[in-house]
C-alpha cells in the first residue's frame, strides 16, 4: 500500500470508549492531521465505529491515536479493514 494513496479505513473500537469523549477526540485528531474525511459514531453495543478516508499515511496517524484514545478511555481492541477510498465524504464529523 502506497502511503500517498487514498484509502478507506473502517474500524470498530471496543473497550471503555463511550462516555469518555472518544468521538470528539477522534474528530480533533482527524482535523489536526488534515486531509481526512469521514465520521465516527457510538454504536448500541458500546463500541465506536470509525469510517475515514484520506492518504494512507494520514489514516495510519489517526489509527495510532485512536488505538490509545483520550486519557479517560481504555481501548481493548481495534478491528479494522482497509479498503479503496470511495470519496463519499466532504468533511469529518460525529454521527449520531
- Domain containing 40 equals 6-86
23 carries an active-site annotation: yes
> Which residue out of 8, 16, 23, 95 is catalytically annotated?
23
pLDDT at 45 over 70: yes
Q: pTM for this one?
A: 0.95
The answer to the question of residue 71 being in a domain is yes
5: nearest Cα among 56, 51, 53: 56
With respect to residue 94, please indicate whether it lies within any of the assigned structural domains: no
Question: Catalytic: which of 8, 28, 42, 74?
Answer: 42
Does any domain span residue 96? no
Per the document, the length of the chain is 96
Assess if residue 17 is contained within a domain: yes
Q: Determine the pLDDT at residue 1.
A: 63
In whole angstroms, what is the distance from residue 10 CA to residue 13 CA? 10
**Residue 35 placed within a domain:** yes
Q: Is residue 92 part of a domain?
A: no
Find the helix packing angle between 22-33 and 56-68, rounded to 10°: 150
**Known catalytic residue at 42:** yes
Domain contains 81? yes
How many domains does the structure of the chain reveal?
A: 1
Is 70:25 a contact under the CB 8 Å cutoff?
yes
Using a pLDDT cut of 70, give the percent of the chain over it: 99
Amino acid at each position: 500500500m502506497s502511503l500517498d494513496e487514498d484509502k478507506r479505513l473502517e474500524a470498530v473500537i471496543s473497550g471503555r470508549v463511550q462516555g469518555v469523549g472518544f468521538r470528539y477526540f477522534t474528530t480533533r485528531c482527524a482535523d489536526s492531521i488534515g486531509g481526512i474525511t469521514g465520521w465516527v459514531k457510538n454504536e448500541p453495543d458500546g463500541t465506536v465505529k470509525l469510517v475515514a478516508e484520506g492518504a494512507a499515511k494520514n489514516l495510519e496517524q489517526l489509527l495510532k491515536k485512536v488505538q490509545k484514545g483520550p486519557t479517560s478511555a481504555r481501548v481493548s481492541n481495534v478491528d479494522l479493514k482497509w479498503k479503496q477510498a470511495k470519496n463519499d465524504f466532504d468533511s469529518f464529523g460525529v454521527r449520531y
